[in-house]
Structure 1
Amino acid sequence: MTVLSERGDADFDLYPYRPSATAGYAFVALFGLGGLVHLCMLIPLRAWFFIPFVLGCAGEAAGYYGRAWSHANIRSGSPYLLQLMLILASAPLLAASIYMTLGRLVRALDATDHAFLSPRWTTKIYVIIDIGSFVTQLMGTAMQANGGAEGAKQGTTLVIAGLGVQLGAFAIFILSVAIFHRRLVLEPTDVSMEHKTWNRYMWMLYAVSGLIVVRSVFRLAEFVEGSNGKLYKTEAFLYVFDASLMFAVVVNMAALHPGVLLRGTRKRERGIPLL
Structure 2
Amino acid sequence: MDHSTLTERGLAPFDLYPYNPSKVAGWVFVVIFGIGAAAHFILMFPLRAWFFIPFILGCIGEYYHFTDWLEHWKTDKYASPYLLQLMLILGSAPLLAATVYMTLGRFARALHAEQYTIMSVRWVTKIYVLIDIASFLCQMAGSAMQASSDPSGIKLGQHIVIGGLIVQLIALGWFIFETTILHIRLNNGPTVISLKDPSISWRPTLWTLRCVSVLIFIRSLYRLVEFTSGSDSTLAKNEVFLYIFDASLLSLSVFLFVVIHPERLFRKVRRLALHLADEDGDVMLSEHP
Instruction: Report the TM-score when normalising by structure 1.
Output: 0.94
Structure 2 partner of 1:42: 44
Deviations, residues 79-98 of structure 1 (Å, cap 9, x unaligned)? 21121110011100000000
**Closer, same or farther: CA 179–51 of 1 in aligned 2, 3 Å:** same
Q: CA RMSD in A?
A: 1.7
Mapped to 1, the partners of 2:6 and 2:194 lie a distance apart of 55
Mapped to 1, the partners of 2:124 and 2:107 lie a distance apart of 12
Structure 1 partner of 2:215: 211
Q: Does 1:244 align with 2:279?
A: no
1:69-108 to structure 2, matched below 5 A, reads 69-108=71-110
Structure 2: 5+ residue runs without aligned partners? 277-289
Structure 2 partner of 1:33: 35
Asked if structure 2 preserves the Cα contact closer than 8 Å seen for 1:160 and 1:220, the reply is: yes
Structure 1 partner of 2:268: 264
User: Please, which moves more after superposition, 34-43 or 64-73?
Assistant: 64-73
Q: Does 1:19 align with 2:16?
A: no
Mapped to 1, the partners of 2:33 and 2:215 lie a distance apart of 16
Q: Does 1:220 align with 2:224?
A: yes
**Closer, same or farther: CA 32–5 of 1 in aligned 2, 3 Å:** farther
Asked if structure 2 preserves the Cα contact closer than 8 Å seen for 1:21 and 1:71, the reply is: no
Structure 1 counterpart SS, 2:77: coil
Structure 2 counterpart SS, 1:271: helix
Structure 2 partner of 1:231: 235
Asked if structure 2 preserves the Cα contact closer than 8 Å seen for 1:227 and 1:233, the reply is: yes
Structure 1: 5+ residue runs without aligned partners? none
**TM-aligned CA deviation for residue 11 of structure 1:** 4.0
Mapped to 2, the partners of 1:8 and 1:24 lie a distance apart of 25
**TM-aligned CA deviation for residue 135 of structure 1:** 0.4
Mapped to 1, the partners of 2:27 and 2:154 lie a distance apart of 28
Deviations, residues 112-134 of structure 1 (Å, cap 9, x unaligned)? 11111111211000000000000
Structure 2 partner of 1:141: 143
**TM-aligned CA deviation for residue 178 of structure 1:** 1.1
**Closer, same or farther: CA 20–74 of 1 in aligned 2, 3 Å:** farther
Structure 1 counterpart SS, 2:118: coil
Structure 2 counterpart SS, 1:15: coil
**Closer, same or farther: CA 88–254 of 1 in aligned 2, 3 Å:** same
Structure 2 partner of 1:175: 177
Structure 2 counterpart SS, 1:270: helix
Structure 2 counterpart SS, 1:18: coil
Structure 2 partner of 1:119: 121
Asked if structure 1 preserves the Cα contact closer than 8 Å seen for 2:17 and 2:73, the reply is: no
**TM-aligned CA deviation for residue 221 of structure 1:** 0.5
Mapped to 2, the partners of 1:112 and 1:69 lie a distance apart of 48
**TM-aligned CA deviation for residue 183 of structure 1:** 1.1
Mapped to 2, the partners of 1:271 and 1:128 lie a distance apart of 36
Matched residue count:
273
One-letter identity of the residue aligned with 2:217:
V
One-letter identity of the residue aligned with 2:265:
L
Mapped to 2, the partners of 1:6 and 1:245 lie a distance apart of 37
Structure 2 partner of 1:66: 68
Asked if structure 2 preserves the Cα contact closer than 8 Å seen for 1:21 and 1:69, the reply is: no
One-letter identity of the residue aligned with 1:37:
A
Asked if structure 2 preserves the Cα contact closer than 8 Å seen for 1:69 and 1:79, the reply is: no
Mapped to 2, the partners of 1:146 and 1:27 lie a distance apart of 30
